[in-house]
């Protein structure tokens, strides 16, 4: 099947989903955008989808649908791409199931290890994972500020079995309009590389309420980030995860040891961050939404407990984030002392 003949649904058109969807529409592909933020859908319908990529502004006419309108769609889709929050993955997979053909696939353009949730819901053969190197934000309806150009955006995709399938090739061809594509035979390890990169950036900078680069340079914060990285790396090794090149780091540059976990964060800071880049959890908190704690340090804490032992610094940072979720703590630079004190848990 030619790429132009594929029917594609992008579910969750926040910063990442909308960035990708706009690229696909401009490439002439058959794409429908589905989102649960009513104002965003109405803005896209009225004025198009505006994506500002480092000053290059493009407005794209799109077919945007409210989430409640999915039941009104009748034509089946070949590819479902989703960028919803990790905690919404399972029900979104169920939502889209009636529109999927027997050979349709569900692709998670997400952080975290959502491949297991999708496989449990739709089956491993309909699951394609993606590890991403991209940064963007959506602070007002219909307007995305993308902070990494398409030429510098990086996606690693693969099936759970590692098999190179026709549908995987379809996904690679489609997403090549939005990123540089690597097809991997070990998507679990590829996603773990991104998870290790996410762990030190996500909750610490969110707790401080400031852009990522500013947080990483705050005195005393980087040692906390590094301790979290090392805990995630140690867990990955215990789980049998293979350390792979990621985010543009080559095989020759992958060290034998947990220094790689620090190198991954350095790569995020140097290649995928702008001075105003704010992590996803902070963006959610600023919108009054629940953060994806379960996808980051929450995942590390739970998995470490399953394997045996504790990820003490991740656990202590997670507890601070849970206080924000309960309204007991407000993201602010003044939380640096609390963050630095988590090292005492190690």
Are the beta carbons of 284 and 316 closer than 8 angstroms? no
pLDDT attached to residue 1: 73
**Which regions of the chain carry the CATH code 1.10.1040.10?**
189-345
State pLDDT tens for residues 34-74: 999 999 999 999 999 999 999 999 999 999 999 999 999 99
C-alpha of 163 from chain center: 23
pLDDT attached to residue 345: 78
274 φψ region: left (φ > 0), alpha (ψ -120 to 50), beta (else): beta
State pLDDT tens for residues 293-336: 999 999 999 999 999 999 999 999 999 999 999 999 999 999 99
Given 1.10.3210.10, 1.10.10.200, 1.10.1040.10, 3.20.20.30, which CATH number is that of 189-345?
1.10.1040.10
State pLDDT tens for residues 181-208: 999 999 999 999 999 999 999 999 999 9
Average pLDDT over residues 87-97: 97
Look at the block and give the residue holding tokens 């290059």.
56
Are the beta carbons of 175 and 29 closer than 8 angstroms? no
- Residue 175 CB burial class (10 angstroms; 0-12, 13-18, ≥19): buried
Phi first, then psi, for residue 106 (nearest 5°) are -115, 120
Alpha-carbon distances of 237 from 24, 53, 252, 258, 302, rounded to whole Å: 37, 37, 19, 10, 16
Mean pLDDT of the chain: 97
Are the beta carbons of 173 and 251 closer than 8 angstroms? no
Half-sphere exposure of 170 (CA within 13 A, CB side): 24
**Which regions of the chain carry the CATH code 3.40.50.720?**
3-185
Look at the block and give the residue holding tokens 């032992």.
309
Going by pLDDT thresholds of 50, 70 and 90, the confidence category of residue 226 is very high
Q: Is the pLDDT of residue 251 over 80?
A: yes
For domain 3-185, which architecture applies? 3-Layer(aba) Sandwich (3.40)
Going by pLDDT thresholds of 50, 70 and 90, the confidence category of residue 152 is very high
pTM over 0.85: yes
């Amino acid at each position: 099947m030619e790429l132009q003949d594929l029917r594609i649904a992008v579910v969750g058109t926040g910063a990442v989903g909308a960035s990708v969807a706009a690229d696909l529409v401009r490439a002439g592909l058959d794409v429908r955008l589905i989102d649960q933020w009513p104002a965003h859908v109405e803005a896209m319908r009225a004025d198009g989808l505006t994506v500002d990529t480092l000053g290059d502004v493009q407005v794209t006419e799109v077919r945007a649908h409210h989430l409640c309108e999915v039941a009104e769609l009748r034509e089946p889709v070949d590819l479902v791409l989703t960028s919803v929050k990790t905690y919404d993955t399972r029900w979104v997979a169920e939502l889209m199931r009636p529109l999927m053909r027997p050979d349709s696939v569900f692709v998670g353009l997400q952080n975290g290890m959502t491949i297991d949730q999708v496989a449990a819901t739709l089956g491993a053969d309909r699951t394609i994972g993606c590890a991403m190197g991209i940064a963007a934000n959506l602070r007002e309806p219909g307007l995305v500020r993308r902070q990494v150009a398409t030429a510098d955006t990086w996606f690693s995709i693969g099936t759970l079995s590692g098999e190179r399938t026709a549908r995987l090739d379809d996904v690679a061809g489609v997403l090549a309009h939005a990123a540089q594509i690597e097809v991997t035979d070990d998507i679990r390890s590829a996603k773990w590389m991104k998870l290790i990169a996410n762990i030190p950036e996500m909750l610490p900078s969110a707790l401080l309420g400031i852009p990522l680069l500013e947080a990483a340079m705050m005195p005393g914060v980087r040692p906390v980030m590094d301790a979290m990285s090392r805990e995630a790396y140690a867990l990955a090794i215990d789980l049998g995860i293979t350390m792979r090149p990621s985010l543009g780091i080559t095989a020759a540059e992958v060290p034998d040891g947990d220094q790689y976990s620090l190198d991954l964060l350095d790569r995020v800071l140097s290649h995928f961050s702008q001075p105003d880049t704010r992590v996803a959890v902070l963006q959610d908190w600023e919108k009054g939404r629940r953060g994806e704690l379960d996808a980051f340090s929450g995942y590390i804490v739970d998995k470490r407990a399953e394997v045996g032992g504790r990820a003490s610094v991740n656990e202590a940072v997670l507890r601070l984030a849970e206080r924000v979720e309960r309204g007991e703590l407000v993201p602010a630079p003044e939380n640096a002392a609390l963050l630095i004190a988590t090292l005492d848990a190690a």
